[in-house]
Amino acid sequence: GAGVSQSPSNKVTEKGKDVELRCDPISGHTALYWYRQRLGQGLEFLIYFQGNSAPDKSGLPSDRFSAERTGESVSTLTIQRTQQEDSAVYLCASSLAKKNTEAFFGQGTRLTVV
Amino acid sequence: AQSVSQHNHHVILSEAASLELGCNYSYGGTVNLFWYVQYPGQHLQLLLKYFSGDPLVKGIKGFEAEFIKSKFSFNLRKPSVQWSDTAEYFCAVNTYNQGGKLIFGQGTELSVKP
């Protein structure tokens, strides 16, 4: 596609429910990132996929968070048993998996846990 | 672990004032350096980037940044800001040789008064 696409753009969920966030990267981009941006804060790295390598999950804040990516296509970020502190904008970015290239960001999914 | 530090959380300037936003990173190896900007209600977009070569890089909208390797710094500058520069600015580092993870600073909110 022309850009990184994320869905839904907004999600309101009740505490304790599971949510799935979707990211469609730019076609041909083998690297994909998920970040969390809490209100008034910076971008917190969550997870990074690069091609067929094992993902870097070092940023996932708890075992309630998981992400999958099939090949070089869509990725889903799943948050189980959501808590109010999970409320944030979840950003996805993709890039070519080579040196000297920049990441392109989607519009994000604003998650509100009530 | 590598980290990125932005010194200013919120900067308030009048139009035509000069701007310098500080960014320091902690990583001893080869890095790619970026400044991203997030205008109100919009997604993150690339302002400028440094991969190699001339340490003074120019980006869009009159912004520039200087990579000083000895200081582990990549400060953003603009000689004369405009009201339309009001946005949040993020410094980011990609340590490609360590797997390509893109790490962001906490962001600096810039408010330009007309």
Chunked in runs of 10, what are the mean pLDDT values of chain B (114 residues)? Answer: 88 97 89 93 91 93 95 97 96 75 91 94
pLDDT in 10s for each residue of chain A, 114 residues: 579 999 999 999 999 999 999 999 999 898 999 999 998 788 999 999 988 888 999 999 999 999 999 878 899 999 999 999 999 999 999 988 777 788 899 999 999 999
Indicate yes or no: CB of A50 within 8 angstroms of CB of B100.
yes
A6 neighbourhood in chain B, CB within 8 Å: none
Chain B contact present for A50, CB below 8 A: yes
Distance, in Å, from the CA atom of A16 to the CA atom of A19, rounded to the nearest integer, reads 10
Nearest Cα residue in chain A from B32? A100
pLDDT for B96 equals 65
Indicate yes or no: CB of A42 within 8 angstroms of CB of B102.
no
pLDDT for A101 equals 81
Q: Are A92 and A25 in contact (CB under 8 A)?
A: yes
Chains A and B form CB pairs within 8 A to the count of 55
Q: Are A67 and A78 in contact (CB under 8 A)?
A: yes
Half-sphere exposure of B90 (CA within 13 A, CB side): 23
A104 neighbourhood in chain B, CB within 8 Å: 46
pLDDT for A40 equals 76
For chain B, what is the radius of gyration of the CA atoms?
Answer: 14
pLDDT for B97 equals 60
Q: Are B99 and B29 in contact (CB under 8 A)?
A: no
Indicate yes or no: CB of B43 within 8 angstroms of CB of A103.
no
Nearest Cα residue in chain B from A34? B102
Q: Are B57 and B65 in contact (CB under 8 A)?
A: yes
